[in-house]
Amino acid sequence: MSGTVDAHASNGRLPAASSYRAYIDGLRAVAVLAVLAFHLRGNRVPGGFAGVDVFFVISGFLITSQILAETTSGRFSYAEFYRRRVRRIAPAMLIVVLATVVAAQLLLLPEDTAATTRSALWSIAGLANVWFWRHLDTGYFAEDSATVPLLHLWSLGIEEQFYLLWPPMLRLLVDGKHRPENRERKHSKPGLAAWTSLVVVASGSYALGSALAPRAPAFAYYMLPTRAGELLLGSLLAIFVRGGAAGRVPPRVADGLGIVGLLSIGASFLLLSGDDTFPGWLALPPTLGAALVILSGEARLGPSTKALSVEPLVRVGLLSYSIYLWHWPFIAFWRYGHGSVGRFPTVGIVIATFAAAWATRRWIEEPARAAGGSAGRVFTRLYALPAAAVSCAAALPLLTSGYGLRVLSGGYPAALSEFREATRLARMESENETDAPGGPEMPFEVVGPEGAAETVLLWGDSNASHFVGMLSAFAEAVPFRFRHVSVHGCPGVLRDPPRFALQDAREKCRRLAPAMRSALGRHATVVMANRWSRYTHQADFLDAVAETVASIRATGARVVLVGETAEMTGFDRRCLEKALGFPGLDCKENDGSPIPQATIEIGDALRDLAKKAPGVGYWDPNEILCPAGRCSAFGADGAPLFRDPRHLSPRGSRALGDTIIRSSGVPAAFRDTSPSG
């Protein structure tokens, strides 16, 4: 995120030094705006997260270029290199961490405040990525991760770890003027062995990302071994350019490379998504695109680099580091309280981000870059002492059970304690019944009245799990017993289910598939329930559903397709607790939202499938949850039915089943659980 040239002017004007590359700041602007758009409007720029990968290439190129230039002239010093890194990175990062830690103590629940402050301490040490790999229960793209205020600092951890290793490695690999036999050489050049080893390591990093992402997605996303290739790609480009290769690229070829590079970056932002196996080989289009743009710019000022050098983009690029630092805490805190980010909050967050970024650059970044003194003095003044102060602020919540500054107001701890005691049973239920991250949740559990025959199989992803309470009410009324098998993010289909599964569920899905194939045919009725619309981005998913239904029917069993519940946008089960300290929080402000169009469309498709196939029924839960097309996450008594926007709570699921039975009896699709011919 942070690689830069130190020729940036400190007076607010655009840099004019001959070594300054305006197009690179324009490329930074494109990258940071993509990240900002992804975090605010992920449906518009679904691959905007790859902007971070573009930053990695830029960083590798600029910093390697600087090391090579100083090595050639005999001026390279490790102390000076890390002095520049501290001046560039530490002050702005520390002020954002401090502001986030203070805000967390005023806005977050105690347990979330404690988690935020722990991540802050690891971030200060340059190990944010290690913290999130080891301690964040959800993946980067999971909904719960969207409220983790310092999650974005994982990328700074990657860079700092890389730049602890890379300078000494580079000096070993590249022949430079510091060696007596090379004193007359104009440029440092790597030998063939150095080139080969760097290419192998970089390629291996991309390959490792692709191999680990399905099995260990958190490690693949957050850790250096699977990200080093992107920084090394920029470093290889710097070595290539330093050897004079850019000057040998014909003008038309250079122009074409720049255009292809920009198109590759743009296509990645629009075509990638969080459902893809990333990082890995899919990180090549945005990173190679960035490398092509830089190569084009080093060869000549062509169409792509002229477009990137326009003043508005350059000014945004100059602010890009601070924009990146500030944007995510603003978004995370808003989502923590309000769930989704609407149109007006989006505008407010963008304005606040740019204002904070401008102020940080003007009063933090620029004075820090101008700071003189020895490396030890700079390290002490700009990193060690401020980091110690921020660590003290972060330690306060850890010493006060997460309350932090709120211990100064005795009213909040007392009010929260009283509220939690009154709702203790509901909280225990919510905490204990969430999706198990390590495997199938409640695998092969049998539910229903003792003595009844086990005739029903409930199968699917976590949207099968959240119907257990409802189906248990039906089972007691009919009666019957049912076996429940579900894996979060793994759809209930027979045709290659891991291919359709969410990235972090593919391995569990793969392990479950053989057992599911052998289980089918043992029950008179199979109830299939999934978050169907989550998988329809793959064109053949509905074909796989139809094949699965046909296979089940071939065993003589009936099939009941259950529609997905409408997403309760903005719903947060813990909202009432949060409202005790989060200003202006209305826990029902988003209640009564319409059924999403994607849910309507997949419901129509499943209904049509049921009509065409004998022995297949369809039931839509939204007929109960969304009367007149408006959906409520709360029951008639005002108690929440959901545990998160997409899942009924166990108690809410049972309450839904009891309500249905009282109003109209067990739905027809579930009454007959005997085999059908």
* The three-state (H, E, C) secondary structure of 601-640, written as one string: HHHHHHHHHHHHCCCEEEECCHHHHCHHHEECCECCCCCE
CA 659 distance to own-chain centroid: 37
Q: What is the token pair recorded at 25?
A: 């700041």
Confidence at residue 173, expressed as pLDDT on a 0 to 100 scale: 80
Do the Cβ atoms of 489 and 502 come closer than 8 Å?
yes
382: which DSSP letter? I
Confidence at residue 417, expressed as pLDDT on a 0 to 100 scale: 87
What is the dihedral angle through the alpha carbons of 409, 411, 414, 419, rounded to the nearest 10 degrees? -130
The pTM of the full predicted model, rounded to 2 decimals, is: 0.77
Crossing angle, helix 343-360 and helix 78-107, to 10 degrees?
140
The sign one gets for the Cα dihedral 546, 552, 557, 563 is negative
Tell me which residue has tokens 């990193």.
Answer: 383
Distance CA 37, CA 18 (A): 32
In 238-347, where do the E strands start and end? none
Confidence at residue 161, expressed as pLDDT on a 0 to 100 scale: 97
Confidence at residue 436, expressed as pLDDT on a 0 to 100 scale: 37
Residue 160, number of CB atoms within 10 A of its CB:
20
Measure Cα distances from 312 to 2, 37, 319 in Å.
20, 17, 11
ω before 367 within 30° of 0 (cis)? Answer: no
Q: What is the token pair recorded at 148?
A: 């983790």
Residues of the chain with CATH 3.40.50: 425-564+594-627+648-671
383: which DSSP letter? I
What residues form DSSP beta bridges with 174? Answer: 190
Helix (H, G, I), strand (E, B) or coil at 348: helix
φ, ψ of residue 87 to 5 degrees: the values are -60, -35
Secondary structure element (H or E) that encloses residue 443, with its range: strand 441-447
Q: Which amino acid is at 19?
A: S
CATH class entry, domain 425-564+594-627+648-671: alpha beta
Distance CA 492, CA 243 (A): 55
Confidence at residue 175, expressed as pLDDT on a 0 to 100 scale: 55
15: which DSSP letter? P
Confidence at residue 487, expressed as pLDDT on a 0 to 100 scale: 85
Distance CA 221, CA 279 (A): 6
Do the Cβ atoms of 226 and 208 come closer than 8 Å?
yes
Confidence at residue 122, expressed as pLDDT on a 0 to 100 scale: 98
Residue 16, number of CB atoms within 10 A of its CB:
9
Q: Give the strands of the sheet with 616-619, arranged side by side.
A: 441-447, 481-486, 454-460, 525-529, 558-562, 616-619
Q: Which amino acid is at 591?
A: D
What is the dihedral angle through the alpha carbons of 421, 423, 427, 428, rounded to the nearest 10 degrees? 70
pLDDT in tens, 162-186: 999 999 999 888 754 444 444 444 4
Q: What is the token pair recorded at 410?
A: 């005795």
Q: What is the token pair recorded at 92?
A: 């702005």
What is the DSSP pairing of strand 441-447 with strand 558-562?
Answer: unpaired
- Give the residue ranges of the chain where pLDDT is below 70: 1-19, 175-191, 422-444, 590, 673-677
Do the Cβ atoms of 606 and 618 come closer than 8 Å?
yes
φ, ψ of residue 189 to 5 degrees: the values are -130, 140
Q: What is the mean pLDDT of the chain?
A: 88
pLDDT in tens, 610-662: 999 899 999 999 999 998 888 888 888 777 888 888 899 888 899 999 999 99
pLDDT in tens, 190-230: 667 778 889 999 999 999 999 999 989 999 999 999 999 99
Do the Cβ atoms of 522 and 456 come closer than 8 Å?
no
**What is the Rg, in whole angstroms, of the alpha carbon atoms belonging to the chain?**
28
Do the Cβ atoms of 280 and 233 come closer than 8 Å?
no
Helix (H, G, I), strand (E, B) or coil at 149: coil
Confidence at residue 188, expressed as pLDDT on a 0 to 100 scale: 53
> In 3D, which of 24, 85, 88 has the Cα closest to residue 241?
24
> In 3D, which of 517, 591, 559 has the Cα closest to residue 670?
559
